[in-house]
A and B are shown apart, each in its own frame.
Chain A
Amino acid sequence: MSEIQRVAVLGFGTMGAGIVQVVAQSGREVTVLETENARIEAGLATLRDFLAGGVARGKLTERQRDEVLARVRPVTDVAALAESELVIEAVTERADVKHELLASVAEVVSGDALIVTNTSALSVTDLAGAVPDPHRFAGLHFFNPAPIMKVVEVVRALQSGPGVVDRLVAFVESIGKDPVVVKDRPGFLVNHLLIPYLNDVIAEYDSELASAEDLDTAMRLGLGYKLGPLELLDLIGLDVHKHATESAYEATLDPRFAPPPLLSQMVAAGYHGNKNGRGFRTSEEGSQ
């Protein structure tokens, strides 16, 4: 089977822009679909920011940056995706929005194009039902920030055809990432492990086991983690974590996924972590 060359990304938000960059850096042309020009401009600005960071850190030359940008083709018409061999959906985490968009994409692409979702909180098997021939559907779960994080989860839906996962594994390797094949279970693999741990830390912080700073210091120095759990939550976004843990809880009724009361209160109070300077660690250190 020939290697996937023409890739489309649906959605030019933070995740979409990160995925666009990773694919374009592998030398491929990327078509990116958004609903309107203002959102395309915002996506391009995000992409330029990422690339500028790469140039500043010496990971990328200015020439490579320009080449990457030249490979990105933003569009607002779904018909422009007709030639795509792989479509990666990365729009907002709402099942109704994703279902409608995936159905319209399935109508324009060829019958052997692969269609995948970057969802982190929804069921890939459920989303596969949006396309008429779901054997070509699977999940491709990138982590944020996509250009930096090495791992991509390849999520096998119940309907995924036998060769589909193998083709996606080869594709992930070809863009310089480490593929991990996982089942379509709430949280897949990484979030299935991470979410209960983070909830557990929030609950113990609430029960005054230690200060936020000392909890983070203990986990960083004791286990060599790059980030402590509470600074990681501030980075992820408390609203994002709450949505992820609630989704997993609704799907499993497993109390380890129930949002801890303190998390719910912080989100209710508008504390979203680093992005608005109010979180477990950001308020004590000033907004970052």
Chain B
Amino acid sequence: MTSLDRTVAVLGAGTMGSGIATVAARAGYRTLIHDLDSGRVERGVSTVRGFLGKSVELGKLTEAEGAEAAARINGTTDLKDLAEAGVVIEAIYEDLAAKQELFGELDGIVGKDTLFHTNTSTLSVTAIAAGSSSPERVVGTHYCNPAPLMKLVEVAEGRHTASWAHEATLEFLASVGKTTVVTKDRPGFIVNRFLIPWENSCINALEAGLGTRESIDTAVTGALGHPMGPFRLLDVVGLDIHQQVATRLYEQLRDPRFFPPPMVARMVAAGDLGRKTGRGFYTYDDNRLFGS
């Protein structure tokens, strides 16, 4: 499926969906973004085109490359338009039943050899695959946010994933310029598996008075070489997102290291969600993300 004559379909026109669509279009694939209403589809398509335009401004793409990639992006609200897709990448909200239902519907629309990728971050690939009548073609491919800039994709097979689907997935991800790591269908895959307890332990250290938000951020960046301290990072991720991911992992693992410390619930209740609300562990004069 690495040939560029196959269409890539992305389900879900949110941040991750439009980011992944950007990756596919930039690599030369005809790309279709699907969402339930046309307003969301239009916003997703214009997010992709906006990103590509920015890349041209920054000199990352030539004018021609940017224009060609932008021309490869289209949107639809009709699943039947995805019939030609060689890869379907599901990036909708984290709801198991909704994801299962989508894959089930697509079974009757796309060809037998079409790959089903799920970008889930906290659900089981195996459980999502159970929604399809051919779970052997379902593979977990977890992108990092922002998808067009982050090289990493975590690849996880479900219980019934076939080796052809796994191999074709690695080829596809290489063809869009991603670096893959192969992991298991376990909660959090690799990065969130270690990041969530790490962030929680930093929050606990803060609440225990082992340091201040500034001293802990300074210690972590200065002594461990992390690009951002834990509290700056939590403010970028969003406290609400951290709470959701941590809670979902805790519910599956029942390991208290994953449960969000009480400070997180207080911050969410107060509306201090991080950069996007202007206040989290730190306060911000503006609400721009990633300094863009």
Residues of A bordering B, CB below 8 Å: 143, 149-151, 153, 178, 180-183, 185, 189-190, 192-194, 196-197, 200-201, 204, 208-211, 214-215, 217-219, 221-227, 229, 256
Contacts and interface: CB of A to CB of B under 8 A. Distances in A.
Contacts of A181: 211, 215
Interface in B78-109: none
Interface centre among B150, B184, B219 (most CB of A within 10 A): B219
Given A149-B223, A192-B205, A193-B216, 8 more contacts: A150-B223, A151-B223, A180-B222, A185-B210, A217-B179, A222-B152, A225-B226, A226-B225
A226 B144 CA distance: 17
Given A192-B205, A193-B198, A218-B181, A209 B186 contact: yes
B198 A197 contact: yes
B201 interface: yes
Interface in B132-153: 144, 150-152
A197 B216 CA distance: 16
A194 B210 contact: no
B59 interface: no
A219 B194 contact: yes
Nearest to A232: B224
A151 B222 contact: yes
9 contacts: A180-B211, A183-B210, A189-B216, A189-B219, A192-B210, A193-B216, A210-B181, A210-B183, A221-B144
Interface of B: 144, 150-152, 154, 179, 181-184, 186, 189-191, 193-195, 197-198, 201-202, 205, 209-211, 215-216, 218-220, 222-228, 257
A3 B151 CA distance: 48
A15 to B, nearest CB: 14
A189 B206 CA distance: 10
Given A185-B210, A223-B226, A178 B190 contact: no
B261 to A, nearest CB: 14
A214 B225 contact: no
Contacts of B182: 210-211, 214
B211 A189 contact: yes
A214 B257 CA distance: 23
Given A218-B154, A218-B183, A180 B219 contact: yes
Contacts of A224: 226-228
Nearest to B183: A210
Given A209-B184, A209-B186, A225 B225 contact: yes
Contacts of A222: 144, 150, 152, 154, 190-191, 195
A211 B144 CA distance: 20
B211 A223 contact: no
A190 B257 CA distance: 18
Given A190-B224, A193-B202, A218 B191 contact: yes
A208 B184 contact: yes
Contacts of A229: 194
A26 to B, nearest CB: 17
Contacts of A208: 184
Contact of B220 (A183, A193, A215, A221): A193
B210 A180 contact: no
B190 A214 contact: yes
B193 A182 contact: no
A195 B160 CA distance: 36
A151 B183 contact: no
Contacts of B216: 189, 193
A190 B181 contact: no
Contacts of B193: 204, 209
